[in-house]
């Protein structure tokens, strides 16, 4: 008998990796909120020189949650409202069609990994916190995942090593069998320390980042992720 291939897993952050960032969807957000075009000017990784708050977050002078809490308050004020939580921002800005902000490259990578027999997991710091408790039900893609570990409920935030351990334990796999993809370097560094293979997701080059992850898993690249 041929030996069975070692089971592997693709572990993805959600915001920025599976979904497009709020930086990329300013036009959609402005339309959904009824704001004039150009109202939202902060661009995070797409224009770090023009986003001092983003630079502070990258330098770890404030947390990712603090960054988004500030942006949430700012956008609420543009509408004359007092927004106290990120969930309000995300749900109001992204409207009812949650699939519209999902990266097609993410769908291609998830389907390819699943077809190759890999297990699939989401490891997020704020999935339900930002998107709402019913989000998973409204997004059919979430049915592909074997495991969802969300710090909204565990209260263990990446890059705490316990967050990665919760995920690998739930998958029933050793860390080295998992490829972890995240757009925040601090979380990637946490994954490395936890023993996972990692990809620092470049939100400006999603196709290349997903291709890198599938290559680590030795999964054939689907057409949408192949270089022209």
User: Which CATH number does the domain housing residue 184 bear?
Assistant: 3.40.50.1000
| Residue 88 falls inside a structural domain | yes
| Residue 60 falls inside a structural domain | yes
Q: Name residues of the chain where pLDDT drops below 70.
A: 1-5, 95-96
pLDDT of residue 5: 55
Chosen domain end from 98, 128, 145:
98
Q: Do 15 and 30 belong to one domain?
A: no
Domain that holds residue 69: 26-98
Count of structural domains within the chain: 2
Q: Do 86 and 144 belong to one domain?
A: no
| Residue 49 falls inside a structural domain | yes
| Residue 184 falls inside a structural domain | yes
Give the angle 176-201-168 at the CA atoms, nearest 5°: 30
pLDDT of residue 6: 85
> Residue 89's Cα: distance from chain center in Å?
17
Q: Do 147 and 174 belong to one domain?
A: yes
d(CA 201, CA 207): 10
Q: Do 59 and 94 belong to one domain?
A: yes
Give the number of other CB atoms < 10 A from CB of residue 126.
Answer: 19
pLDDT of residue 1: 41
């Amino acid at each position: 008998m041929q030996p069975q291939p070692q089971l592997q897993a693709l572990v993805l952050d959600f915001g920025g990796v599976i979904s497009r960032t709020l930086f990329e969807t300013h036009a959609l957000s402005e339309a959904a909120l009824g704001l004039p075009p150009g109202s939202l000017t902060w661009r995070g990784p797409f224009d770090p020189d023009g986003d001092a708050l983003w630079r502070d977050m990258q330098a770890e002078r404030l947390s990712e949650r603090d960054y988004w809490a500030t942006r949430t308050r700012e956008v609420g004020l543009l509408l004359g409202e007092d927004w106290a939580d990120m969930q309000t921002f995300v749900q109001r800005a992204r409207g009812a069609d949650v699939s519209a902000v999902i990266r097609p490259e993410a769908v291609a990578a998830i389907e390819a990994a699943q077809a190759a027999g890999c297990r699939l997991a989401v490891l997020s710091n704020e999935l339900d916190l930002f998107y709402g408790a019913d989000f998973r039900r409204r997004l059919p893609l979430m049915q592909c995942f074997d495991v969802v570990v969300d710090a909204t409920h565990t209260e263990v935030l990446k890059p705490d090593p316990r967050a990665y351990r919760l995920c690998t334990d739930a998958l029933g796999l050793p860390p080295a069998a998992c490829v972890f993809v995240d757009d925040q370097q601090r979380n990637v560094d946490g994954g490395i320390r936890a023993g996972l293979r990692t990809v620092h997701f470049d939100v400006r080059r999603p196709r290349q980042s997903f291709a890198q992850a599938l290559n680590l898993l030795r999964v054939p690249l689907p057409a949408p992720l192949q270089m022209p």
